[in-house]
Amino acid sequence: MAIIAPSLLAANFLNLQAECDIVNASEADWLHFDVMDGQFVPNISFGPMVLEFVRKVVKKTCDVHLMIEDPARYAEVFKKAGADHLTIHIEACPRLHQDITYIKSLGMKAGVAVNPHTPVSMLSDILHEISIVNLMSVNPGFGGQQFIPYTLEKIRQLKQMITERGLDVLIEIDGGVTLENAKEILDAGADVLVAGSTVFKAKDPVATIAQLKTL
């Protein structure tokens, strides 16, 4: 069964308590928390101070996605704020192995995210060190964008790499996931679906999460 991770980026920030209650009441497995710095991506979202509050009420695994330059600088702060997973971008990390080792030493599961233009073959020498690959299916920075169809091919390639090597790495798809394309994404080999707009802009987010869960 797919792991469903609603993305808080699409929530109503004026009413985060209620949005967190929705996630708690649902079958969601993780809460996806998108951090943007206005440098690595052309948008600014929220950071560890917000996570600290959210973490106090959310009963789900906190899956933190750092879309920031030099992410290792903030790893400890996010751990303290309550992150369970910390995912950093391959494009932002010239010393990726060192950063991944550091994240794990702090007691978090480590993930690596790749932008749509980055081939999955770039992950070859880090794959055995990590728990999650976040395959971006939109260009990072904003919610509500359209799913890039070529991601399906990347999922198949990555799935093959993971299976051939007998690794235990989850494939997480992030961006443009809808009730219409989710099945195709899972059939290609994805394990985790991040869904922002599809969940939080829905009339009934709890029911939408349940629907995603049954695919």
The binding site comprises 7, 32, 34, 65, 141-144, 174-176, 196-197
Under rule CB under 5 A, residue 174 binds Zn ion: yes
- Assess 194 for contact with ligand DX5 (CB under 6 A): yes
The overall longest dimension of the chain from CA atoms, in Å, is 46
| Residue selected from 9, 68, 110, 182 as contacting ligand DX5 according to rule CB under 6 A | 9
For residue 45, state whether it binds ligand DX5 (rule: CB under 6 A): no
Phi, psi (degrees; rounded to nearest 5) at 193: -110, 120
**196 is a site residue for ligand DX5 (CB under 6 A):** yes
Among 20, 174, 205, 212, binds ligand DX5 (CB under 6 A): 174
Task: List Cβ neighbours of 79 (8 Å cut-off, separation of 6 or more).
Answer: 86, 106, 107, 108
Return the half-sphere exposure (C-beta side, CA atoms, 13 A cut-off) of residue 178.
Answer: 10
Name the residue nearer to Zn ion (CB basis): 45 or 165.
45
Among 29, 34, 99, 191, binds Zn ion (CB under 5 A): 34
Distances (CA, A) of 3 to 150, 175, 195: 22, 15, 11
Candidates 34, 37, 63, 99; catalytic one: 34
Considering only residues 79 to 118 of the shown chain, the ones binding Zn ion according to CB under 5 A are none
How many chain residues are in contact with ligand DX5, going by CB under 6 A? 22
* Residue with the shortest CB distance to ligand DX5: 196
- Known binding-site residues for substrate equal 7, 65, 141-144, 174-176, 196-197
CA-to-CA distance for 34 and 88, rounded, in angstroms? 11
Look at residue 205 and give the partner it binds from Zn ion, ligand DX5, none, a contact being a CB closer than 5 to 8 Å depending on partner kind.
none
Considering only CA atoms, which of 52, 49, 64 is closest in space to residue 109?
64
**Closer residue to ligand DX5, CB minimum distance, 141 or 189:** 141
Residue selected from 8, 10, 20, 65 as contacting Zn ion according to rule CB under 5 A: 65
Give catalytic status of residue 174 as yes or no. yes
User: Between vectors from CA 115 to CA 110 and to CA 119, what angle results, nearest 5°?
Assistant: 95
Judged by the rule CB under 6 A, the positions of this chain that interact with ligand DX5 are 7, 9-10, 32, 34, 65, 138, 140-145, 174-177, 194-198
Judged by the rule CB under 5 A, the positions of this chain that interact with Zn ion are 34, 65, 174
